[in-house]
Structures are given as C-alpha cells and as structure tokens.
A and B are shown apart, each in its own frame.
Chain A
Amino acid sequence: MSVKTLKIDGKDVAAEEGTMLLQAAQDAGIQIPTLCFLAGLTPAAACRMCLVEVEGSHKLLPACVTEVAEGMVVQTHTPKLQGFRRMNVELLFAEGNHVCAVCVANGNCELQDLAIALGMDHSRFPYRFPDRHVDISHDQFGIDHNRCVLCTRCVRVCDEIEGAHVWDVAQRGEHCFIVSGLHQPWGEVDACTSCGKCVDACPTGAIFRKGSTIGEKERDRAKLEFLVTAREKHQWTR
C-alpha cells in the first residue's frame, strides 16, 4: 500500500493511502475535536466539529471522512475554525437542556470537554429550553433526551456492532429525536439485547446506567474497540 506525505499544522506527516485526516493527525499528536466520530462505526460527518482548512479547497473539509492525499496542506486549529467550533458548541448547548451540575456524565462528557477546550463558558445564543422527555422503562438503562446531541453514535453502534437496530432518528430538523423500536418505550423493544453498547458509545449523559448519580457515568470504550478489532482484524486482544 502506498504512503502519502502531507503537512498538518506545519508538521510533516506520512500516512497510508486511504487513512482519514483525523487519524493521520492523531498519529502525529494533533487532536482534532470530534463529537459524532467513534472509531469502528461508519462515520456520519454530522457534528461538523472536525472541519479543517485544506489548501486549495474552497470548502472546509470534515477530517473524519477526508482521505489523506499527497502534498496536502492542512490547518486544524486556525482562529476561524476555533471560532466556528465554539459557535457550534454554543448551538448545541442552546438547543438542548445541558445542566452539567446535575448530570451523570459531569466530568466524563465529550460535550463538556469540547466546551472547556474551546473556552465556552456560556452560550451567546439564547437557550431554547426545549420540552423533552426521559425514558427509564428499560431495566438497566435510561435515556434522557434533554442531554442528547443527536450524534447518532447509539444508532450506529446498535445497528452496526450489536446488529439489533433498536435506535433510529425520528422527525426532522429541530424536532429530531432518537427513537427506540417502533417509537415504543425502550423497555418494550424486544430487539434490545441489553448489551449496553449504546451507553458506552454515547458521548454525553443522554444514555446512562440506572442507579448512577451525578458524575458517576463511566464508559468502557475499550470494549467497543475490542469488538471492532476482533471483527475487522480477527484479533482478540483484550
């Protein structure tokens, strides 16, 4: 397989053909912010946090689905990008009801991490305070739609890794929400195997284990990685 050489933030980087910019940057020690990306799942390119500037392209490109190319010159943290990313996170905070102080994922939340990294301490856009519900009909887990950022990681992990396809997206635009089964309470969806992969995949406190209280949500990301490696490379390395 051929190797491509490129420049990311002034650093010379070599990456195998077919590698995505996100991975190539990470291998070079450059962290590009992400939210909807989760290694092992089909990328959705939906959150737009990972957009980068590529010389010669008049559009910003999503690093999670853009392949490296020979001679590419990439900027990942320009003031313009950081400003846009901050606005993007503000939009998310304004769109849902994200109250970190009472959230199971406090201190262990990717949305919170993004906000901190971008220096976002409040949203300049008015909070919308939407009326969303909480479903705790499942024996072991719950979903609090107030905290959902619609990254669809739960949808993809359940469909692609567990093969159960319990989740999907209903409605459109601002009315979108994650739906279980045929719009049934989660606890009534027979397809759910209670594997808990969606809990581990969820970047926020939207899907949680029942019984966890503030700041207690922990994820076993290694489990997902283990499954993906086992499936794709037939290596059982835990």
Chain B
Amino acid sequence: MGGYEPLYHALYELSSAAVIEEITKSGLRGRGGGGYPTGLKWATVAKMPGKQKYVICNADEGDPGAFMDRSVLESDPHRVLEGMAIAGYAIGANHGFIYVRAEYPLAIQRLTKAIQQAKKYGLLGSQIFESGFDFKIDIRIGAGAFVCGEETALIHSIEGGRGNPRPRPPYPAEVGLWGCPTLINNVETYANITPIIRKGAEWYSSIGTAGSKGTKVFALTGKVQHTGLVEVPMGTTLRQIVEEMGGGVAEGRVKAVQTGGPSGGCIPAVFFDTPVDYESLQQLGTMMGSGGMIVMDDATSMVEIAQFYMDFCRGESCGKCVPCRAGTVQLHEMLTKIVNHQATETDIEQMEALCQMVKEMSLCGLGQSAPNPVLSTLRYFKEEYLARLRPEVETFATAKD
C-alpha cells in the first residue's frame, strides 16, 4: 500500500538533513541487537567526508530460533529496499548491499525479484523517480557463519576476505566497506523507515516507552503453546507476550524466557511484569537482541541451556582472539563437567572467573557476550548448578579413620 511513496516524498519534498532529522526524532533504535540510535548513526555517516559511501543491510540473522528478518524479506522485500534507498539519499550513498545468509534461499529469490521489479519501474537504479538520485542494490550471500553478522566481519566478507572481526574504533561509519564511510543497519531497522517517513516521527514516537520507540517483532518459540512471530509495541510486558499471546505452556509452569540468543540471558518468571524495552532487559542481565524469545518450562534444565549456548559460541568463534577461541572451549568443557555431575564448587568459581575474563578481553561482541547465558543462569538459577555438583566422595583427607 503506497509503496515507494515515502521515497518519492523524501526525494522531492525533504532534504537529506530533514530525513535524518525525522529518523532522529522518531527515536528509532537499531533492531540488530545493540539498540544504537538509528538517526545518530545516519547523521554520523552523512557528516563523514568522502564521495563514496555505502549502505549495508545486515540480513545474516544467525541467532538460533530467530526468523524475524526472514519473514520481512520473504513477505515484503520492497519495504527493505525502499528503507535502504531512503538511507542512501539521507547519507549520500548510491550503492547498497544486502548481506543475506545462504540458508534463506526464498528470501534471496524474492529479494532478487524485487530488485528487478524496482529497477524496471525506475524505483532503483539511476535517476530514481526522474530525480538526480541514483541508488543500486546488490545482494551478497553469506556462507553461514554466525560471526559474519558482526558488522566488521560482515564487511570483510563482502570485500571477499575471511569473515573476521577487527577492533573498533574505527567504526564502519568512518572506515567501512573498502575503507569508505558505511551505514550498516539491520533488516527490521530498514523496515521501520518507510512508516516513519510516511506517517511522521511524532506518530512513531507515540508508540513505545520513553527510551524505546515503535514496535518490535519477536520470534516466540520453545515450550509455549502458540509459537510464531509477534509484533508488539515496546513496553509490552513479558507476561502479555508469553501468557496472553503465547498461551503459556501446555503443562506445568513457565520457568523463564530466554532473550538475546547466545548473547543474552534468561529472565525468570518472577520478572514477567517487566516491560520489554532495551534498558529493562539489560538491567535483568540480558538484552533485546534481534528478537528471539524462547520460553522454558519447569522441565527445562538451565544448566543445559547454558551449555547449549556455549557449545554454539564455541563452534561459531572465528578463532581470531585468544579469550574467545580458547575460553569458550574451556567454558563449554566446564559446563559439560557440571551437567555430568563431575564438578565441584571450586569449578563453578573458576568458571565464573573465566566468564568475566572472556567477557572483558574478547575482541568482538561474540566473545564479549558469550558468557552471558552462563552468568545470567548463575544469577537466577544457581541452585540448579549446585544440585548438579559431584556427590560428596570420601577422600583420604575427609575419611574418618
């Protein structure tokens, strides 16, 4: 409905600065996990000197159980293309890339078709709507590494190199694709652009909480009765999402909800009246992430959940930096030891110390957040760890004669 009208409106009735102003006023924050203010990011790239700039759409969606971006790409690819074109106009870029994972063949097919259609109608390519603005979009297909969702690794991958992260600063806004200032946003972030331009920042910012505006899509999975995607205004409580929309669990009680995937943590049911926004989730020791929400019931072992995510990070670590490459291996081994009733309390202490070290010393977000599922389950469900310790054995030292 009204497709590409916002782009027309932006090109003919708004200056680049006015578009950025509108996005800033809307309060939109990045939907890729970090929640960085989108307007601020656009303004930074727009201010960078240099003729060549790029727009990248991050469609690598690698969190286990997440499929929000996929649904947008498969059902409404034009909306993402239009969001990217508006971004290009705002920051002064004429070339965009969508980095989409190879596991999404239908999304790739529909994006390819949508790009062809848009080109045919002059909505992409040169002189869009017969204005002076040119913008083309190319698709790049990722080979399925979770770490390639990290922005600097993603850029290396588009450049044809190994998908390894590099230290930031410099941020991609300054030094990005082929060394040029680059705007990188998530699929859902771009999908929010056209409604903001169409209906205005004021309308958009009337939805949500003080610090988190608009709506967010969650992929509700796990032990919940109704799994699937839900789009809710920011500030909706976890209880509403899990119990009302998700219908709770079939048997027993809901124990916790996992958000933020391998970078996030578990929220116990006692906190279900918490409104879902960036800050509240962070205070609970987890994060919004890209929108995965996994419901766990009484029968779920939190230690095994922690072990599962650590196994994931161990397998997805790029191997560049020592704390993540070798630390996730040791953490996973420690968790396995606990799961197998072979660990002592000292092992748990050592594991906590290593978690802190990996968190603070790793190079990129993957390693820095890999300990989160362990730390959060230790925070709320320590008794489950203790219950798994090695049964007291009589040793030479403790033996009474």
Residues on A lying within 8 angstroms of B by beta carbon are 44-48, 51, 59-60, 62, 65, 83-84, 87-88, 91-92, 94-95, 124-126, 128, 149-150, 168-169, 171-176
A84 to B167, CA, bound (A): 19
Q: 8 shortest A-B CB distances, which residue pairs?
A: A176-B319, A91-B326, A173-B317, A45-B167, A95-B326, A48-B361, A173-B319, A125-B330
Q: When A and B form their complex, what is the total count of cross-chain residue pairs whose Cβ atoms lie within 8 Å?
A: 88
With contact pairs A124-B350, A169-B162 given, residues A174 and B326 touching in the complex (Cβ less than 8 Å)? yes
A83 contact set on B, CB distance < 8 A: 357
Extra 15 A-B pairs, beta carbons < 8 Å, given A94-B326, A173-B318: A45-B167, A45-B363, A46-B321, A47-B322, A48-B322, A59-B360, A83-B357, A87-B353, A88-B361, A91-B322, A91-B326, A150-B325, A169-B319, A174-B314, A174-B319
* CB-based contact A172/B326 at 8 Å: no
What mask results when residues 321 to 357 of chain B are scored 1 for a CB within 8 Å of chain A, else 0?
A: 1110111111001000000000000000010011001
Chain B residues 154 to 187 lying within 8 A of chain A, measured CB to CB, are 162, 164, 166-167
With contact pairs A65-B167, A124-B350 given, residues A174 and B322 touching in the complex (Cβ less than 8 Å)? no
Minimum Cβ distance to chain A for residue B353 (Å)? 7
What mask results when residues 351 to 375 of chain B are scored 1 for a CB within 8 Å of chain A, else 0?
A: 0011001001111000000000000
A174 contact set on B, CB distance < 8 A: 314, 317, 319, 325-326, 329
Most buried by A among B321, B322, B323: B322
A176 contact set on B, CB distance < 8 A: 319, 325
A51 contact set on B, CB distance < 8 A: 360-361
* CB-based contact A46/B322 at 8 Å: yes
25 A-B residue pairs with Cβ-Cβ distance under 8 Å, sorted by A, are A45-B166, A46-B321, A47-B322, A48-B323, A48-B363, A59-B360, A62-B167, A87-B357, A88-B322, A91-B322, A94-B326, A94-B330, A95-B325, A95-B326, A125-B330, A126-B330, A150-B320, A150-B325, A169-B319, A169-B320, A174-B317, A174-B319, A174-B325, A174-B329, A175-B319
Is B232 on the interface with A (CB-CB < 8 A)?
no
The listed residue (B166, B319, B323, B363) touching A88 by CB distance below 8 A is B323
A92 contact set on B, CB distance < 8 A: 322, 326
Q: Which chain B residue shows the least CB distance to A62? A: B167
Give the interface size bracket for B toward A: 20 to 34
A175 to B315, CA, bound (A): 9
A126 to B372, CA, bound (A): 23
A126 to B331, CA, bound (A): 11
* CB-based contact B319/A48 at 8 Å: no
* CB-based contact A91/B323 at 8 Å: yes
B350 contact set on A, CB distance < 8 A: 124
Q: Which chain A residue shows the least CB distance to B315? A: A173
A30 to B36, CA, bound (A): 37
What mask results when residues 41 to 67 of chain B are scored 1 for a CB within 8 Å of chain A, else 0?
A: 000000000000000000000000000
Q: Which chain A residue shows the least CB distance to B320? A: A46
A226 to B323, CA, bound (A): 33
A173 contact set on B, CB distance < 8 A: 314-319, 325, 328-329
Is B145 on the interface with A (CB-CB < 8 A)?
yes
B319 contact set on A, CB distance < 8 A: 150, 169, 171-176
B145 contact set on A, CB distance < 8 A: 172
